[in-house]
Structure 1
Amino acid sequence: MHRSSSAESELAEELAVVRPALGPRFAAALPGARAAVLTRLWRALVHEPLPWVAQRTERGGESLLTLGDGRRLHGPRADPYATASYVTEVRLDDVAYDDPARLMTELAVPHGAGLSVELAHSVASLALSRAGQDPHDTSLKDPREWPEHDWEWEQRVVDGHPYHPNCRSRPGFTVAEQLAYGPEHRPTVRLGLLPVPADECLVSGEWPSQLRDGSRLVIPVHPWQAAHVLKRSCEAGAPAHPLMSLRTLALVDGPHVKTALSTRLTSSVRDISVGSIVASAALSEFAETLTPRAYGLLHMTRTLGAATADSPDLAAVLRESPAAYGAPGERVVPVAALAGTELPGSPAWLAQFARLALTVGLRLLELGVALEAHGQNLLVVLSASGAPLRLVYRDLADIRVSPARLARHGIPLPDDLPARILTDDVTALRRKLFGSLVAGALAGTAGSRRVLRAALETAVRDLPPTPDLGALREEPLPTKALTLMRLSPGVPGDRWALLPNPLGVDVG
């Protein structure tokens, strides 16, 4: 019999107080949530360069890991591109574990205790997210019933990141706060409004007049941030709908508001650095010069304004809604939400979408810009029948720009782009695009190595032959080593894993 973790028990106790009707559904969702997180963790154990794994072998339908201390881990053969929850237990020597947090505790590796706590939170929160869904909702099965609003699509993403074991880790959030602010629970949130003297603020772009009060700027604040970090009361602002990033919300018939949320969600603390505020307008203007070069297949959402009270804890960015780029009858859908539709079930549709995404991504990479085009940043414009027509990209903060490649194509490099995004390192540029677009957005949409391979084989057939395309076809596929990064506190920057090329011979 499974013994509940403290995170599961605590959440169940809170749920019994704030939403008792969800209790039975939460309990029923726990085994599936454990399997979902364990599947993600097992993928990391098999494929990431963890220093305490001495050897990896494949034997039949099983992956076998030998640890540095001689212990052995056994589990199902790990498809690095699978999104289904196919791992229900992993054996450490002769003991089977169905709980990822308990497995990580027993591994007793450096910094594993902290990750174990996060995994337990991820399981409990994921079960809560699943419990809050309507089991009879079939609206995504029929294009005629697809959501009309962009935020409705965002709130369809229930399980979070398809490959990160911390896919639903929300430390510091009570059950009531998850229900009140988690997008998958479909709440309406009233942002706080905090006036700050204008001479204490840094503004990039145009800050709207409706968010000014005489000599003060009014900065939108997430209610959680106001209560737990700023510890200040705020005037209630306009109603808004949380998007899949949780700290970004869509105002009703208005722009999207990215707020600071100084807690670790998935991997990162979601505050807004002063540097990103400074760079936001320049990046937005630079992006507008690139879209005409992408064959008319790409839009980039504009940053309307950004402001900070000289603190990453009190800042906000106003962005254009991606829905602005959909014509009447079209839908603008985050790629992460596609898995809830029947579209990826069609090999022809998936190949068409992969060709569109690679055409745009490789074109910009050739010009000198590597997008971080994962399923949250990348959206696709669909026709009324569901055909992929164009792409929309948002959030330019983590792109990479090659001055040398820009120069080769006669594209001026703006003087005020942040130094941290500039690099001519080919490996860094390819990692940024391939790791997010192919190992992220396309793989997460395909759901398995076999399906991804079929889509890529068709998609790359007629693309212009560039060195970048050659690397994509022939070299191992880079992806962020998300678990290694969580086990490496104090190590700055991204860490990377190399996955078997989905276009390779062994499709497993």
Structure 2
Amino acid sequence: MHLNPPPAADVAEHADARSVAPLLNCLLREVAEPHDGTGERPVYRLPASGRLLRVLGERRPAEPEVYAAGAWQRVGHAELVKLVADELRRHTGLSNHELPAEMIDSRDALAALLTARGRATPPDDLYLRSEQSLLTGHPYHPAPKARGGGPVAAWLPYAPEAHARFPLTLLGVREDAVVEEGDTAALDALGEAPPGYRLLPAHPWQLDLVGRELAEAFADGRLVRLGTTGSEVWPTAAIRTLYAPEQDLFLKFSLDVRITNDIRRLWRHDLLKLRRTDAATAAAFTALDGRAAWLGDRGYRTAGFAFEELAVLVRDGLRDSVLPGATPLLAAGLVEGFEGSPLLGIQDPVAWWEAYLAQVVPPALDAFAGHGVVLEAHLQNTLVAVDDDGMPVQALFRDAEGVKLLPEVSRPAGWERLVYCLVVNHLVEIAGALVERFPALDPWPAARRELARHDLPEIPALLSAPTLPGKTNLLLRWTAADGAAARYLPLPNPLAR
């Protein structure tokens, strides 16, 4: 069913509200100090400027107000961006002109997405609907919907949040220029290359971004255009990772755009270690005692003269991995909400949460304990399959690029990363979504029991430590740190209550 686009005033209001919440989350987590929590609206002090800020709510704070001229003054998203930038300049002693622009770009992109979504038809498939549901996105990033500052017309046709689907561009790469590793045979089924060439699918947005750099290769015949695929692909929550339902295949591309913390290229150094990382993770899952599945990154293909720009990674599809009769759903989609989400039909939240924990927690901990594999088990890399009653029956994990292996990282560093991804980024958010629907629910005794079942030396400290590691995305971006160089600050540990 096609829906009428929302009125412009409603779009602006909704875009502001959805953009304010993650920015406030970052500011309150990383910089602000609690000042007065006794009223309906908690009050915080911004230490560098001395300003007082109050908000409505805690999990998704709203309606920010600043105390000025003897009264509380409401601030919208644009004014909040200025306030945050001023506070961070004072707090760090550094200036940054890029991040405020990204915050504004994120809000404007969200307005465009809301308008486009009002005209779009959501997919019938519940899995695809969950992947394309992330209108707010990362709840602790200052600019979760930024799209590199480019014009809306350049990126909107490829936006999962607007329910996009599109054919891939097909290129032929001269055989002597092909670089590949692993199993890439599935790419050859997407079309037909002329003699002396190999098929290379390309993301049309990426091709637009790097087209000028490839002009010489097209001119001298190292690259040829072969049209488009006969079927369409669907962008997933990761934007540059696309699902081809007819082939049951995921394809991950480079995308020369900053999305959240990083320019989303398939970097050479990551591709060169991909097979080793994926093989170690697949071996760990084969040895696990349970239903969990790993969606393996089979291999990659690219052109030697544009190694990163044209790289495409081949990832396992769903049909051979998901339990018969179960429906996979993106964990991040469960937090965001979408029509048909099992969270909307839960009758027994305790039983549902216990089932969820039983599927998601053991694979992540067992892979770490027995195989030295640190899964990036955050909301966007985890699928949870549910049965016909909406009960979780299986967890599936993905993205070898984000996996770390011991001892390539130290055990303490690997454990900190795992706790952040699995507990802080993932379980805390799912628990929060449950408690919003069932305010009487205390989710943490069940989480403690599930974690305590695992015989890891780090577990007792996890269950008793007063704090957990929280990633500082706002300060990372303000200080222009490498997005992969995570920095953490202590957050109250709900497991220790």
Which band: TM-score by shorter chain? 0.7 to 0.9
Q: Is the 8 A contact 1:56 1:66 kept in 2?
A: no
Match of residue 360 from structure 2: 357
Structure 1 vs Structure 2 CA RMSD: 2.9
Relative distance call for 1:73 and 1:192 in structure 2 (3 A) is farther
Relative distance call for 1:497 and 1:25 in structure 2 (3 A) is farther
Amino acid at match of 2:199: V
Aligned ranges 1:360-379 → 2 under 5 Å: 360-367=363-370, 368-379=372-383
Match of residue 90 from structure 1: 65
Q: CA deviation at 1:92?
A: 5.9
Deviations 1:358-414 (A, max 9, x none): 2222222222221111111111121121111111111111212213xxxxxxxxxxx
> How many Å separate the matches in 1 of 2:36 and 2:490?
17
Q: CA deviation at 1:292?
A: 3.1
- Does residue 496 (structure 1) correspond to residue 484 (structure 2)? The answer is no
Amino acid at match of 1:372: E
- Does residue 455 (structure 1) correspond to residue 430 (structure 2)? The answer is no
> How many Å separate the matches in 2 of 1:224 and 1:203?
22
Aligned ranges 1:170-181 → 2 under 5 Å: 170-181=147-158
Relative distance call for 1:63 and 1:78 in structure 2 (3 A) is farther
Q: Is the 8 A contact 1:325 1:332 kept in 2?
A: no
> How many Å separate the matches in 2 of 1:130 and 1:468?
44
Deviations 1:238-268 (A, max 9, x none): 2211111111111232211101110111221
Q: CA deviation at 1:161?
A: 1.7
Q: Is the 8 A contact 1:323 1:331 kept in 2?
A: no
Aligned ranges 1:238-253 → 2 under 5 Å: 238=229, 239-253=232-246
Relative distance call for 1:63 and 1:356 in structure 2 (3 A) is farther
Deviations 1:41-80 (A, max 9, x none): 22212222x5xx6x55444242322433x4313123774x
Q: For 2:352, what is the secondary structure of its paired residue? A: helix
TM superposition score normalised by structure 1: 0.80
Match of residue 418 from structure 1: none
Aligned ranges 1:178-257 → 2 under 5 Å: 178-208=155-185, 209-210=188-189, 213-231=194-212, 234-238=225-229, 239-254=232-247, 255-257=249-251
Q: CA deviation at 1:149?
A: 6.1
- Comparing 320-329 with 433-442, which one deviates more in the overlay? 320-329
- Does residue 32 (structure 1) correspond to residue 14 (structure 2)? The answer is yes
Q: For 1:324, what is the secondary structure of its paired residue? A: coil
Aligned ranges 1:70-89 → 2 under 5 Å: 70-76=49-55, 79=58, 82=59, 84=60, 86-89=61-64
Match of residue 297 from structure 2: 303
Q: Is the 8 A contact 2:64 2:75 kept in 1?
A: yes
Identity of aligned residues (%): 24
- Does residue 439 (structure 1) correspond to residue 424 (structure 2)? The answer is yes
Match of residue 43 from structure 2: 63
Amino acid at match of 1:352: A
Deviations 1:137-167 (A, max 9, x none): 9x9xxxxxx9546433312333222322212
- Does residue 102 (structure 1) correspond to residue 105 (structure 2)? The answer is no
Amino acid at match of 1:250: Y
Aligned ranges 1:133-172 → 2 under 5 Å: 133=117, 147-148=124-125, 150-172=127-149
Q: Is the 8 A contact 1:261 1:271 kept in 2?
A: yes
Amino acid at match of 1:63: V
Amino acid at match of 1:336: A
Deviations 1:186-232 (A, max 9, x none): 22212112222333332110222446654433322111111122236
Q: Is the 8 A contact 1:26 1:128 kept in 2?
A: no
> How many Å separate the matches in 1 of 2:435 and 2:387?
27
Q: Is the 8 A contact 2:172 2:226 kept in 1?
A: no
> How many Å separate the matches in 1 of 2:355 and 2:36?
33
Relative distance call for 1:363 and 1:277 in structure 2 (3 A) is same
Deviations 1:442-476 (A, max 9, x none): 22223369679822321321523433222322221
Match of residue 315 from structure 2: 319
Q: For 1:454, what is the secondary structure of its paired residue? A: coil
Match of residue 273 from structure 1: 267
> How many Å separate the matches in 1 of 2:321 and 2:411?
33
TM superposition score normalised by structure 2: 0.82
Amino acid at match of 1:354: L
Amino acid at match of 2:332: A
Deviations 1:285-304 (A, max 9, x none): 22221113322232111223
> How many Å separate the matches in 2 of 1:186 and 1:294?
36
Equivalent residue for 2:414, pick from 403, 407, 429: 429
Q: Is the 8 A contact 1:249 1:258 kept in 2?
A: yes
Q: For 2:133, what is the secondary structure of its paired residue? A: coil
Q: Is the 8 A contact 2:22 2:138 kept in 1?
A: no
Runs of 5+ in structure 1 lacking a partner?
Answer: 1-20, 140-145, 404-421
Aligned ranges 1:337-486 → 2 under 5 Å: 337-339=333-335, 340=337, 341-343=341-343, 346-367=349-370, 368-403=372-407, 422-426=408-412, 428-447=413-432, 454-462=442-450, 463-475=453-465, 476-486=467-477
Corresponding residue pairs, total: 449
Relative distance call for 1:218 and 1:477 in structure 2 (3 A) is same
Runs of 5+ in structure 2 lacking a partner?
Answer: 219-224
Relative distance call for 1:163 and 1:226 in structure 2 (3 A) is same
> How many Å separate the matches in 1 of 2:195 and 2:274?
24
